Structure 1
Amino acid sequence: MNDMTIGLSTNGQAAISYAKLGLHVFPCVPNEKRPMTPNGQLDATTDLEKIRQWWTHAPYANIGLYLKPSGLVAVDPDLYKPDCQWEPFIEGKEIPQTWVQDSPQGGRHYIFRADPNATYAGKLCQGVDVKWDGYILLAPSVVNGKPYTTVEGRYLATAPVWVASAQRVSAEPFDRATLTAGGKPIPDRSEHFYGAVGKLKDAGLSIDAAESALRTDPFTYGADKYLGSGRDYLRRELERAWGKLDSPAPQVGRPAFQLRLAGEWEATDPVWLIDGFIEVGALGLLFGDPGVGKSFLAIDWAYCVATGTEFMGRAVKQGTVVYVAGEGHRGFGRRREAWGQHHGEDTLTAPVYLSHGPADMLGAVAEVKAAIAALPQPPALIVFDTLARNFGGGDENSTKDMTAFIAAVDQLKAAYPDCTVLIVHHSGHAEKQRARGAMALKGAVDTEYRLDASPAGLVLANTKMKDDQPPDALHMQLQPTGKSAVLVEGDAPVAGVSEQQRMGLDTLMAVLVEMQHPGDNTLIPTEVWRQRFYDGMGDKTPNAKRQAFNRVCKSLMDSGSINKCGDSYQIMPTLTSRLTIMKAARKVGTV
């Protein structure tokens, strides 16, 4: 092992080794043959640093080999197919000793050096392809849980003459129509491709975004046959299809709307993303006052899902996470680092994808869909933090605009049915017990949580659980860690706190959360706390706000919770005991 392979997975080390032999490699989706890079095989390289970056980001990525620039050609007999004519074809022909590997399905690759004066393409016979201007996967890649295995070593013989005798498969004329879409003809050989293009167009994607999606997942979209000749070939066919197709897209298969006897629907148990809290495929809402700690919780959930780490003792289903952050990117890095330090997890390579800025979900959802489609794995969780910052130019109080936002989110859920979407939102200005804006949002979500500050820390309360038993309230606290803080499970509320003190403590806790220093002797600027307190009193008169704040300060000073220090208030140990965790972890890894 050398410096380039230290810390890499087995697949990453193998990819580096192949590249050192002059082979052009690129990553493919783990357990699949689909490329992970935007341009598929065209992104293949021998650049060791680039390859290291790819497999550091995706340790279990399969290894794709682009044959032509590597100077190689492969004979690919599908030995597992009953109609494969390999044995009769090869009888009497010499197969020189060369690199051989078996595929998971039972096929075989004979890999040769390509004769620079020869051209290779097409089929040798039924069930036997010659691959040259294309790619294959290399051992130890795995597909459907089964690995590619090396049969013979990596000695490479020059391809025998009979490999170059492969007959080209002639394509039928492009304009031969046997299917119509929007009144325009579709060639039968491209029905799959045209149907995919039509769906991308109907989804509102631009032609550039559609091209990106096709290149990211060419096999699914039927675009792989256009990649062998380079980018211009795919773009040309895409433009032809784009021009021929009118909306709606051709309906292939069963119609979108159907009726079925209700008794035929199976009653299934819930599948939880976070056990007892939020289901796989659900639409969730997390709301609370500004600064209360919503983003701390959303980031906690995101990294629990990305790493498969339990959330405060509750099982989590692991998967890729998309975090659409409208603000706070600098703080995100500190919180990510603190979370990894607390849980002992590597957050640098965890599959959490952070947006560069907010998304305009009312006007540019196609851009969001295209960006997600380009990821190596479909998301298990998408977080919008916050709704306001991702609402574009809409009005949260408008039922029409909120319904449009929900429809945009539904597009993402339709594209990824097993993906949970979490929306982070603010409390109402006057009604703190509900989320801000139009009620259409609460009607649409499957589950809803309110996060409040309390004398004991933070309280997460379920306010809607559509199909399951609501979980009990969860008491949490912020524990300073590294350059930020993390959430840990906390004590139950402390008794004996008056309503007047509770009001002061709630606003004081919000300031502490923002400062990320809930500890002894912390100084809170009076003006910062006062303004937060005033904001919480809604439309009360300035005089009423001032008198209430003074009463709260006096009450907390009398109880020994705070002390006046010039233009600030000092947090005393009596109050600290209510705001920080004072008990041991219930289990290893929780605290």
Structure 2
Amino acid sequence: MKDFSSLKQALKLADIGLETSPLAPNTKIPLIPLSQGGHGYKNSTSDKAILNKMFSNCPQANLCLRLDTSHLIMVDVDLHTKEANGKETLLKLAKQNMVLPSNGYVESTPHNGLHYYFKVDVPVHDIQQAFGKNSGIEIHTLSSSIYPSEIDGKQYEPLDGHTLEDVKPVPKWLLDYINQQAQTKKPFITARYRDKLYTGKLLDEFVNGASSGNRNAFLTRIAGKMFAVGAEADTVYNMLLVINKNFLTPPLMEREINIIFESILRRDSQPQFNF
């Protein structure tokens, strides 16, 4: 990625009213962390003066697109595992006349997936495992990493020369599906009744996760924090497995988790586990 390429794209998107913000280089993590007063994707803006300021100290930052204020959704088609092959799910859906049109705005991802973007006029909610547990498809409605972001030296790339000005309306079958799923879910609760304590901040850090280049350092830091607040060793280990599986892109091998855990365990003088 060339210097300030994300900023250049952010300024172009601001011209069409889309809000963006910087992500830490080589990650999907907001450049301004929660611990330093950041608000994640909610820091996104179309104000060019603010964008210039946010990107000025990190020319290699990745780029986040805020979806909800842009009236967009993103359908994430992953190929992370053989058991959850999103492209195979697309083929199965197509046989039922449920097709994601490819003549709008679609990006290829650094890990060989696809991001389909659609306009939507009504609020919808995320669906983490759309079309089944192992479908390999997720629906995102809040934010998304976009071109020219890089992970492991590979960029998100628009297909067929399209831009975000080419986004098409969401297919009716997909909107109907999302609305049907929403009716079966519990209400989304956003209220918070007291100031955020250390535990709350730690949970937020779990969910923010980390991407490729930062995974080991991230889990090492998290393990140290859990031991510091008095968590039992087996609790720390099991939480590392959960965080690795659900919040790292891509997950580490289990042997790497064991190495991280044993290192922090020794440092904190806790009883050793035998693996």
TM range (shorter): 0.5 to 0.7
Residue 90 (structure 1) aligned with residue 94 (structure 2): yes
Match of 1:151 among 159, 163, 170: 159
Structure 2 partner of 1:220:
209
- SS class of match (1:136): strand
Q: 1:49 to 1:144 in 2, by over 3 A?
A: same
CA contact (8 A) 2:90 2:99 kept: no
Compute the displacement of 1:250 (Å): 4.0
- SS class of match (1:33): coil
Match of 2:231 among 228, 249, 269: 249
Q: Which amino acid aligns with 2:138?
A: D
Structure 1 partner of 2:241:
none
CA contact (8 A) 1:27 1:35 kept: yes
CA contact (8 A) 1:78 1:106 kept: yes
More strand by share: 1
Determine the C-alpha separation between the residues in 2 that align with 1:140 and 1:157: 21
CA contact (8 A) 1:77 1:127 kept: yes
Identity %: 22
Structure 1 partner of 2:257:
none
Structure 2 partner of 1:56:
56
Which structure 2 residue ranges, 5 or more long, are not aligned?
Answer: 33-37, 187-194, 211-227, 238-260
Deviations, residues 333-381 of structure 1 (Å, cap 9, x unaligned): xxxxxxxxxxxxxxxxxxxxxxxxxxxxxxxxxxxxxxxxxxxxxxxxx
Deviations, residues 73-116 of structure 1 (Å, cap 9, x unaligned): 111111353232232123323433210001101111110111x2
Residue 107 (structure 1) aligned with residue 107 (structure 2): no
Structure number, greater radius of gyration: 1
Structure 1 partner of 2:138:
129
CA contact (8 A) 2:118 2:168 kept: yes
Q: Which amino acid aligns with 2:126?
A: A
Determine the C-alpha separation between the residues in 2 that align with 1:59 and 1:148: 17
Match of 2:124 among 119, 122, 129: 119
TM-score (norm 1): 0.30
Compute the displacement of 1:43 (Å): 1.1
Q: 1:48 to 1:156 in 2, by over 3 A?
A: same
Residue 160 (structure 1) aligned with residue 142 (structure 2): no
Deviations, residues 261-308 of structure 1 (Å, cap 9, x unaligned): xxxxxxxxxxxxxxxxxxxxxxxxxxxxxxxxxxxxxxxxxxxxxxxx
Q: 1:31 to 1:98 in 2, by over 3 A?
A: same
- Size of the aligned set, in residue pairs, is 195
CA contact (8 A) 2:24 2:30 kept: yes
CA contact (8 A) 2:93 2:99 kept: no
- SS class of match (1:75): strand
Q: Which amino acid aligns with 1:124?
A: A
Deviations, residues 124-171 of structure 1 (Å, cap 9, x unaligned): 322111111x21111110012211111140211100112221335857
- SS class of match (1:13): helix
Greater relative contact order structure (CA < 8 Å, 6+ sep): 2
Moved over 4 A (4+): 168-171, 206-218
Determine the C-alpha separation between the residues in 2 that align with 1:214 and 1:19: 32
